[in-house]
């Protein structure tokens, strides 16, 4: 429980750093560190498959994509961020944390959620038999992403 809390605190700290750091490269690396911590949290919640996906895909692939974009766009030095945000962000965030700590416990019984029930079978059974339509949707989403990237990097042909 203590380790899990420490991991969650680390996750929030790295996520806030990813937003607040001025250097985009450091932001991307902080985001990767947050993903890594989230993956470890998933492992500790008996969800190894989600943990593996989180670490390999989000902490690995998405970070590479971010770093590639930062390299291609020259790190965005031209953008002048508002200085007010650096003061306001921590203050409002701390205020929200206090409100969150006070309110969340009373919300627990009121948030609608499925009733507790024990699941039968393995993860493979649930994914392939219970959520088959999700898998079809995933294939469609990946294809849509591939075609979108192809369309966005299309070269002009001679007739244009």
Binding residues for another protein restricted to 2-61, rule: CB under 8 A: 4-5, 8-9, 11-12, 15-16, 18-19, 24, 27-28, 31, 34-35, 38, 41-42, 45-47, 49-50, 53-54, 57-58, 61
Joined tokens for residue 70: 């930062």
d(CA 111, CA 106): 10
Q: What is the DSSP letter of 113?
A: -
Closest to another protein by CB, 116 or 157: 116
d(CA 37, CA 18): 14
d(CA 3, CA 8): 9
Which residues, numbered 64-123, are part of the site for another protein (CB under 8 A)? 65-66, 68-70, 72-74, 76, 78-82, 85, 88-89, 92-93, 96-97, 100-101, 104-105, 107-108, 111, 113-119, 121-123
């Amino acid at each position: 429980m203590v380790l899990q809390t420490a991991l969650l605190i680390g996750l929030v700290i790295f996520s806030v750093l990813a937003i607040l750091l001025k250097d985009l490269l450091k932001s991307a690396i902080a985001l990767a560190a947050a993903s890594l911590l989230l993956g470890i949290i998933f492992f500790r919640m008996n969800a190894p498959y989600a943990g593996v996906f989180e670490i390999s895909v989000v902490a690995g692939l998405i970070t590479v994509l971010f770093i590639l974009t930062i390299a291609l766009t020259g790190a965005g030095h031209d953008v002048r961020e508002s200085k007010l945000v650096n003061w306001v962000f921590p203050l409002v965030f701390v205020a929200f944390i206090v409100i969150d700590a006070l309110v969340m416990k009373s919300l627990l019984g009121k948030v609608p959620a499925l009733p507790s029930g024990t699941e039968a079978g393995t993860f493979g059974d649930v994914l392939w038999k219970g959520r088959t339509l999700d898998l079809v949707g995933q294939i469609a989403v990946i294809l849509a992403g591939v075609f979108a990237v192809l369309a966005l990097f299309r070269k002009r042909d001679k007739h244009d």
